[in-house]
């Protein structure tokens, strides 16, 4: 199953790969070179399909937990001052996605969307300390009766050229459901209330919609 954001790119990629395959077969007569190029085309197609995959996730819906918004590796767990919306201290948990991870963004909690804003910006590498403030990004704030307000931020990386965010103010968010997509490498930051019990460690690998990031 592939994400809808990838349908056009996948079709175009298939057309290009088939055209190149025919061209290589027609114009290249050196056997080892021909089959090497065939292999490269196959790998390229595989990577595109891999990137836009959208596997089904079995979210255990609970108002007492925060689930990972994306697949990837936990690269930040720290108390920080969140400048854009809260303007106070929060617990930040950041998940970095490599180009091989699933890049679907999912709602980390149930609740109402209070705030959703897109920011144009730079394309620093996603793990850069200033990426969350200077890169292209979107900020979404959700609220429910259990956790109060939780912010998540999609951040473009050096390879990411488009952030897709479906969350709109007043929408009802359902934990684990699709809330967006980031194309070609990125990270997502979560900002949680102080006192939240973090259930992951640095360098843990998490699955969007399934892995529990935190609980009360």
Tell me the mean pLDDT per 10 residues along the chain, length 216. Answer: 88 95 93 94 91 91 96 96 96 91 94 95 62 80 95 80 89 96 84 96 97 93
> Does 186 participate in catalysis according to the annotation?
yes
Whole-number Å distance between alpha carbons of 66 and 45? 35
Q: 157 to each of 12, 44, 75, 160, 207, how far by Cα in Å?
A: 24, 21, 14, 5, 19
**CATH tag for 65-215 (out of 3.40.50, 2.70.70, 2.170.130, 2.60.40):** 2.70.70
CB atoms within 10 A of CB 68: 27
pLDDT for res 75: 94
| Cβ–Cβ under 8 Å, residues 181 and 148 | no
Q: Which residues pair with 65 in a beta bridge?
A: 215
pLDDT for res 116: 97
Whole-number Å distance between alpha carbons of 211 and 69? 9
Catalytic residue among 116, 132, 186, 211: 186
**Tokens 């979210």 belong to which residue?**
59
pLDDT for res 12: 95
Q: pLDDT tens for residues 19-77?
A: 999 999 999 999 999 999 999 999 999 988 988 899 999 999 999 999 999 999 999 99
**pTM listed for this prediction:** 0.87
pLDDT for res 183: 78
pLDDT for res 98: 86
pLDDT for res 182: 85
> Domain-by-domain residue ranges, the chain?
4-51, 65-215
């Amino acid at each position: 199953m592939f994400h809808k954001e990838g349908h056009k790119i996948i079709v175009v990629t298939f057309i290009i790969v088939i055209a190149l395959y025919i061209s290589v077969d027609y114009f290249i007569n050196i056997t080892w070179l021909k089959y090497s190029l065939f292999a490269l085309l196959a790998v390229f197609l595989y990577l595109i399909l891999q990137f836009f995959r959208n596997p089904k996730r079995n979210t255990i819906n609970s108002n007492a937990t925060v689930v990972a918004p994306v697949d990837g590796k936990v690269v930040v767990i720290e108390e920080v001052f969140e400048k854009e919306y809260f303007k106070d201290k929060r617990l930040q948990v950041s998940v970095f996605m490599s180009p091989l991870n699933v890049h679907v963004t999912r709602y980390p909690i149930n609740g109402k969307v209070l705030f959703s804003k897109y920011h144009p910006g730079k394309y620093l590498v996603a793990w850069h300390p200033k990426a969350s403030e200077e890169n292209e990004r979107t900020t979404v704030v959700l609220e429910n009766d259990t956790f109060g307000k939780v912010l998540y931020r999609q951040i473009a990386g050096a390879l990411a050229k488009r952030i897709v965010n479906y969350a709109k103010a007043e929408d009802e968010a359902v934990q684990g459901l699709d809330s967006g997509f980031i194309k070609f490498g990125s990270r997502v930051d979560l900002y949680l209330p102080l006192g939240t019990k973090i259930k992951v460690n640095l360098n843990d690998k998490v699955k969007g919609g399934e892995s529990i990031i935190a609980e009360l």
